[in-house]
Amino acid sequence: MNQVNEATTKTNDLPGSVLFMCSQNSVRSPMAAALARVEFPNSIFFDSAGVRAGLKNSFAIEVMSELNIDISGHQPETFADLEDSYFDLIIALSTTARSAAMDINRSQSIEVEFWQIGDPTQTQGRRSIILDAYRAIRNDLSARIVARFGGNRL
């Protein structure tokens, strides 16, 4: 059975398709998929889903636009909503997503990795503090994507 692993650098054995999965597919997973698509535009297929579908998140949209990446058209969806549900790798970005990914793994034998990524929606305070929390998550995702898949442009 596949194991849940922390992200490691694996540049020689890249998957053909990767699903980033989080709790609501409104912040972490769409940010990760968009960052990865910019880094690997033609070599790896990236998508995102949530355990349940949330709502669009204006802070996520704003911090991604700072990098000239537009996620405003993203519609949060679940794994069941995806047109194509076969992936070589699922990267779970929350503990809830890790459980769901392991359930999917039981029936489809998909490799699963777990990246413990904070939830910026829990941040309270001034707008600048909240935006800084979202930027930190964006930057963390970017660094992990580069480390995991061997890119360097983000």
Q: At 138, which CATH number? A: 3.40.50.2300
Give a yes or no: residue 24 inside a domain.
yes
Q: How far apart are CA 79 and CA 48, in angstroms?
A: 8
Give a yes or no: residue 47 inside a domain.
yes
Give a yes or no: residue 6 inside a domain.
no
Q: How far apart are CA 44 and CA 33, in angstroms?
A: 11
Instruction: Using the predicted structure, report yes or no on whether residue 10 has a pLDDT greater than 80.
Output: no
pTM: 0.88
- Number of domains within the chain: 1
Provide the domain limits for residue 34.
Answer: 17-149
Give a yes or no: residue 12 inside a domain.
no
pLDDT of 57-82, one tens digit each?
A: 999 999 999 999 999 999 999 999 98
Give a yes or no: residue 8 inside a domain.
no
Give a yes or no: residue 130 inside a domain.
yes
Give a yes or no: residue 1 inside a domain.
no
